[in-house]
Structure 1
Amino acid sequence: MSFDIVKREIFRFLESKTPEVLAIKGAWGVGKTFTWNKLLAEAKNNNKIGHEKYSYVSLFGVNSLESFRYSIFEQQININLIGTEPSLETFKENWAGVSTSFGKKLAKLAGDLPYLNKFFPTVESITFLAVKDTLICIDDFERKGDSLKPKDILGVLSELKERKNCKIVLILNDESFDDEKLEEEYKKYKEKVIDIEMRFDPLASESVDIALNSEAKEKLILKEYIEKLKINNIRTIKKIERLSTLLSGLLNKYEPEVLKQTIHTLVLYSWCIYHKGEDVPTIEYLRNIGYKMFGVEDENQTEQEKLWKSILTDYGYQTTDELDLVILAAVESGVIDEENLHIEAEKLNKQHIAAKSDSSFEEAWRLYHDCFDDNEEEVIDAIYKSFKKNTKYITPINLNGTVRLFRDLGRSKQADELINHYIEVRKDEKKLFDLDGYAFESEIDDKKIIDEFSKLKDQYKEHKTVKEVLSSISGKDSWGGNDADVLANATVDEFYDLFKNEKGRHLGSWINTCLKFGRFTNASDRDKKIAENATEALLRIAKESKINARRVAKFGINTDDNK
């Protein structure tokens, strides 16, 4: 059912005073309650609600009929207060209504029943007497407590409509009924109770209009991407909106394309995390996509991966870079790592500035992607020239993809030239050549690239001292690639001199760090050597005096045989 029809019917329902029950059903997260509240507020602002009182009740976890009835009374507020929570004042007003209603009821009972105290109603029953002429929303029907029966819920709705002149909207997710019995009972009794039943299943474009703040400057970008992926889940869209607003504020100093890419990635990753289906790529696939979207085919692709690749191509997603991984972490946790965001955004910003110049690398690749012409020479020439002009902005993963294309087309000599040129231009960027710290290290598979990068990594390897290593890794659960090597190469004498000459609270942490290497479950020979040499140095210190023996013993080292 289109959103326009649903909207028109809800407005008619709200304005009319005729007692009736409206059921709004639909899948989880499509925005049934969100839309009801939004249209309710709009009708209130336009004075288009026929009743003067309103009560919203969620059945989530409600286990008894008495609690259900009492909740309707407890949540009653004046129509003018829609948008605010029930308060002590509204509760007092409701009890004032109880006094009036129960007083009349009591007079009638007193004439009929000689032993009134035996039939005195419970508090829940008393308060329910005051519920009348009220607009009521009953939400989360499928999430009711196990002890509350569907037929009893619908029975109360019938009573409210037939005897208390109320209008009731019932909101439910009929796709999440826990068992067949719940579904059967709903279908059995709904014909007697429910006057109108509408399925709420908005289009992605309608969901965007419902959910997003119309003043958000990034709304047009969000709308384009959300509609491409056909996302109609309001909860997902609101999560996307929240992060996009934060990103917009953080990235406003960069080129507009930087924000556009982050939102493009944000929408895709939100879809993949919050939605399930054969057409939805897994996060693991996106993490490791590498050159698969770069135009270089993977012979081992499954049919599922081919489908995902087709969907991602249609969406305009080509490859996963470091900035994308920052956005992925934000979607998964809800928190943005601002430091890493700015580091990666700055890199991308430089690429976009370069891309706006003539012969941009991205434009050169379009000759490969966008046609079936027999233009190999033109493609290779354009990419080769553009690569050399834009080398300082090209990532290692894109270097690998370019080299693979050249080799596949029999241009290995030119491929080697590009690698050599890349290294020459960027030789001062020492961290660039450490693939161990590169997010897409597993996707770099060209042997020459791996070998040349490895040589430069060894050449640039920092020659840290034992003291520098312990200072940087103590108290942490991880360390750099060659930190353990530095410690393993330290002699007993070096450990002895270090432990003897250092003073301060950090000394104990440094010693424990050395000893910890030997306590790993799967300690390597290198790890064991670190612990053994450090232990030998400490035993030498323990021999020097009784007090030092006690000091060494506190690290769990047996000094008894060392006396």
Structure 2
Amino acid sequence: MTLALVRNELDRFLAAPDAEVLALRGKWGVGKTYSWNRFLEDANQRNEISRERYAYLSLFGIASLDELKFSLFEQLIDRQLIGKPPSLATFRDNAAQLSASLGRKAWKLASSTPFMKSMSPSLEAVSFFSIRDTLICLDDLERRSESLSARDVLGLVSLLKEQRNCKVVLLLNDGENGLEDFEKYREKVVDVELLFDPTADECSEVAFVGADSLYQSIGELSQKLDIRNIRTLKKIERLVRLVEPKLGGLEPELSHQIVHSLVLYGWCHYRAGDPKIPPLDYVQKIGYALFGLGENDDIPDNEKAWNTKLQDYGYQVTDELDEVIATAVKTGCVVDADFEKAATEKNSQIIAAKATGSFTHAWRTYHDSFDNDQNKVISTLYESFKVNVKYIAPVNLNGTVRLFRELGEDEKAEEMINLYIKVRADEPELFNLSDYSFAGDISDQKVRDAFDKAYEGTAVRESPKEVLMRLASSNGWNNKDEVVLAETTADEYYELFKSESGGHLSDIVNTCLKFGQFSNASERQRQIAGNAKEALVRIGRESAINALRVRKFGVKVEDGA
């Protein structure tokens, strides 16, 4: 049923004078409660509600009919207060009305008795008599306590309609347990039953009607993903509100990218478990597989479907700013320093690219055509790369090199790598793959080798002792540290170990040896451990006591191991 038909029927229901029971059904999260509240407020503003009092009640956790009856009494408000939560004042007004209906003497006697607590169930039952000529919305029938049967609830609903002239709306989540009795008795109680199954367009219309352009763009993006869950849309909206104050001063393209990523990541995160929706971790790691440059041709069918969805949405690769956004989606909060750093850097790249011609735009010649135009694609990307090389991220260099290699343009691929290293030489940390968030996406070995060589060449040389002392008190190291230690010979380790004494000597030795204990140790790491062991064997052969001393490090002098 379209949203327009649901709205029209609800408008008729609200305005009609007759007592009726209406059931609004739909999947969990599609926005039944949200839409009901919106339509109700709109009708109230038009003065088109036939009842003067209203009560909304979620049955979540309600354990008995008496509790349900008194809860309804507590939730009663005048129609003019629709859209505002019940308060102590509304409860006091309800109590005053109940007092008038019972008679002052009877209410005064009941309220002043010393046995009030023992009589409270009776008072709760008495309070229910004041509920008549009322519009009532009962939500979450399937989430009531097991001690309260759906049959009893429906019996009460029938009484409210037949004897109290009430209009009752039931909001039901299809597919949930706890509705078996409702299915059995609904024909005897429910007059109108509506299926709430809005399209993605209708969901965005409900969620963002009257919103400014930023939030309307959420709706437009959500339609591309076919998001039909208003609860998800409102959660995404909350995330956008968190970053909105930080968008000032950013280029429009970057603001769009931020919202674009937020909508996608929110959809993936909040709808986790739906097999049709790619997990957020998958999206973060997709890399250049979306460009047809992945190494694995045997892609599972579900991943093919995910990739098609991501391509249709216009997603490319995850950059540093996207990583910050993904973290914000997962945690529900934004780390200001991380966001500002990544956004500022990306904004500078966009400004520079506008002045020189966008490399991203050049890639469109690859994506947006099935023409037999390989030479044009190669030429356009190659020339744009040379102009924009100062602003191209390592992961984008890798993707371009991969494309050129697949098209048989290895010579140009090598030229681009060399140009990149030359032009970006003043940014030595750029080549430190051990500290790069997307190092795993740098799949071209020659790019990796060129980066390692460039980084090693800029290493500020510390002495082996300085490096080992620093590593002994920390849990991490970088490529520069490995270079220094790997280039330290066995003779130099011998001199270092012999010249040191004190508690830090064991720390230094153990730091060297641990490089050989990794299950996937690199050649350079094995070299560090090997040279250190060779020095220890030499020390152990000098005396019986030193042979014992080096043995505690797992080094045996006898076999030279």
Same fold by TM (over 0.5)? yes
- Note the 1:60-71 alignment, pairs <5 A: 60-71=60-71
Bigger drift between 32-41 and 364-373 goes to 364-373
2:337 corresponds to which of 336, 339, 350: 339
Measure how far apart 1:121 and its partner are.
Answer: 7.0
Measure how far apart 1:104 and its partner are.
Answer: 11
Does the 8 Å contact 1:30/1:235 carry over to 2?
Answer: yes
Quote the residue 2:25 is aligned against. Answer: 25
What do residues 234-285 of structure 1 show as CA deviations (whole Å, max 9, x unaligned)?
1111111122233232122111000101111111111111224333112222
Distance 1:357 1:15, change over 3 A: same
Quote the residue 1:46 is aligned against. Answer: 46
Rounded Cα–Cα distance in structure 2 between residues aligned with 1:12 and 1:220: 29
Measure how far apart 1:383 and its partner are.
Answer: 1.2
Rounded Cα–Cα distance in structure 2 between residues aligned with 1:57 and 1:301: 49
Measure how far apart 1:216 and its partner are.
Answer: 2.5
Measure how far apart 1:448 and its partner are.
Answer: 1.1
Aligned-residue sequence identity (percent) comes to 43
Query: Is 1:222 matched up with 2:210?
Result: no
Query: Is 1:286 matched up with 2:283?
Result: yes
Instruction: Tell me the amino acid that sits aligned with residue 382 of structure 1.
Output: T
1:391 corresponds to which of 389, 392, 399: 389
Rounded Cα–Cα distance in structure 2 between residues aligned with 1:105 and 1:11: 42
Q: How many residues align?
A: 499
Measure how far apart 1:343 and its partner are.
Answer: 2.0
Instruction: Tell me the amino acid that sits aligned with residue 201 of structure 1.
Output: D
Distance 1:122 1:470, change over 3 A: farther
Match of 1:202, SS state, is coil
Distance 1:134 1:483, change over 3 A: farther
Bigger drift between 289-298 and 442-451 goes to 289-298
Runs of 4+ more than 6 Å apart? 104-107, 465-474, 482-490, 492-495, 513-518, 522-527
Quote the residue 2:128 is aligned against. Answer: 128
Does the 8 Å contact 1:212/1:241 carry over to 2?
Answer: no
Rounded Cα–Cα distance in structure 2 between residues aligned with 1:120 and 1:321: 62
Quote the residue 1:313 is aligned against. Answer: 311
Rounded Cα–Cα distance in structure 2 between residues aligned with 1:251 and 1:498: 50
Rounded Cα–Cα distance in structure 2 between residues aligned with 1:295 and 1:378: 18
Rounded Cα–Cα distance in structure 2 between residues aligned with 1:376 and 1:265: 31
Distance 1:227 1:79, change over 3 A: same
Q: Which runs of 5+ in 1 are unaligned?
A: 108-118, 500-510, 531-563
Rounded Cα–Cα distance in structure 2 between residues aligned with 1:395 and 1:120: 70
Does the 8 Å contact 2:358/2:384 carry over to 1?
Answer: yes
Measure how far apart 1:382 and its partner are.
Answer: 1.6
What do residues 351-391 of structure 1 show as CA deviations (whole Å, max 9, x unaligned)?
32344346532232222222222222222122111111110
Match of 1:56, SS state, is strand
Measure how far apart 1:471 and its partner are.
Answer: 8.5
Measure how far apart 1:469 and its partner are.
Answer: 9.0
Rounded Cα–Cα distance in structure 2 between residues aligned with 1:195 and 1:356: 62
Instruction: Tell me the amino acid that sits aligned with residue 305 of structure 1.
Output: E
Instruction: Tell me the amino acid that sits aligned with residue 280 of structure 1.
Output: I
Does the 8 Å contact 1:247/1:259 carry over to 2?
Answer: no
Query: Is 1:267 matched up with 2:263?
Result: yes
Match of 1:390, SS state, is helix
Quote the residue 1:404 is aligned against. Answer: 402
Instruction: Tell me the amino acid that sits aligned with residue 224 of structure 2.
Output: K
Instruction: Tell me the amino acid that sits aligned with residue 74 of structure 2.
Output: E
Distance 1:470 1:238, change over 3 A: farther
Instruction: Tell me the amino acid that sits aligned with residue 131 of structure 2.
Output: V
Distance 1:438 1:192, change over 3 A: same
Does the 8 Å contact 2:26/2:196 carry over to 1?
Answer: yes
Rounded Cα–Cα distance in structure 1 between residues aligned with 2:256 and 2:498: 57
Quote the residue 1:301 is aligned against. Answer: 299
Match of 2:132, SS state, is coil
Match of 2:213, SS state, is coil
Query: Is 1:457 matched up with 2:458?
Result: no
Instruction: Tell me the amino acid that sits aligned with residue 301 of structure 1.
Output: I
Rounded Cα–Cα distance in structure 2 between residues aligned with 1:8 and 1:517: 74
Rounded Cα–Cα distance in structure 1 between residues aligned with 2:359 and 2:85: 57
Match of 1:169, SS state, is strand
Bigger drift between 396-405 and 489-498 goes to 489-498
What do residues 186-208 of structure 1 show as CA deviations (whole Å, max 9, x unaligned)?
11111111111111111112211
Distance 1:359 1:53, change over 3 A: closer
Bigger drift between 441-450 and 490-499 goes to 490-499
2:252 corresponds to which of 251, 256, 261: 256
What do residues 6-26 of structure 1 show as CA deviations (whole Å, max 9, x unaligned)?
112222222223111111111
Query: Is 1:442 matched up with 2:440?
Result: yes
1:200 corresponds to which of 171, 174, 196: 196
Quote the residue 2:168 is aligned against. Answer: 168
Distance 1:14 1:412, change over 3 A: same
Instruction: Tell me the amino acid that sits aligned with residue 184 of structure 2.
Output: K
What do residues 540-559 of structure 1 show as CA deviations (whole Å, max 9, x unaligned)?
xxxxxxxxxxxxxxxxxxxx
Quote the residue 1:145 is aligned against. Answer: 145
Rounded Cα–Cα distance in structure 1 between residues aligned with 2:509 and 2:209: 57
Does the 8 Å contact 2:497/2:509 carry over to 1?
Answer: no
Distance 1:407 1:149, change over 3 A: same
Match of 2:276, SS state, is coil
Does the 8 Å contact 1:2/1:201 carry over to 2?
Answer: yes
Quote the residue 1:414 is aligned against. Answer: 412
Measure how far apart 1:159 and its partner are.
Answer: 0.6
Distance 1:364 1:523, change over 3 A: closer
Quote the residue 1:542 is aligned against. Answer: none
TM-score norm. by structure 1 comes to 0.80
Rounded Cα–Cα distance in structure 2 between residues aligned with 1:7 and 1:143: 26
TM-score norm. by structure 2 comes to 0.81
Match of 2:194, SS state, is strand
Match of 2:163, SS state, is helix
Quote the residue 2:326 is aligned against. Answer: 328
Measure how far apart 1:516 and its partner are.
Answer: 12
Rounded Cα–Cα distance in structure 1 between residues aligned with 2:471 and 2:82: 58
Rounded Cα–Cα distance in structure 1 between residues aligned with 2:339 and 2:452: 28
Match of 2:239, SS state, is helix
1:352 corresponds to which of 334, 350, 353: 350
Rounded Cα–Cα distance in structure 1 between residues aligned with 2:446 and 2:358: 25
Distance 1:120 1:293, change over 3 A: closer
Rounded Cα–Cα distance in structure 2 between residues aligned with 1:446 and 1:467: 33
Measure how far apart 1:496 and its partner are.
Answer: 5.0
Does the 8 Å contact 2:204/2:220 carry over to 1?
Answer: no
What do residues 139-163 of structure 1 show as CA deviations (whole Å, max 9, x unaligned)?
1111111111000000000011111
Bigger drift between 424-433 and 408-417 goes to 408-417
Rounded Cα–Cα distance in structure 2 between residues aligned with 1:445 and 1:468: 29
Match of 1:218, SS state, is helix
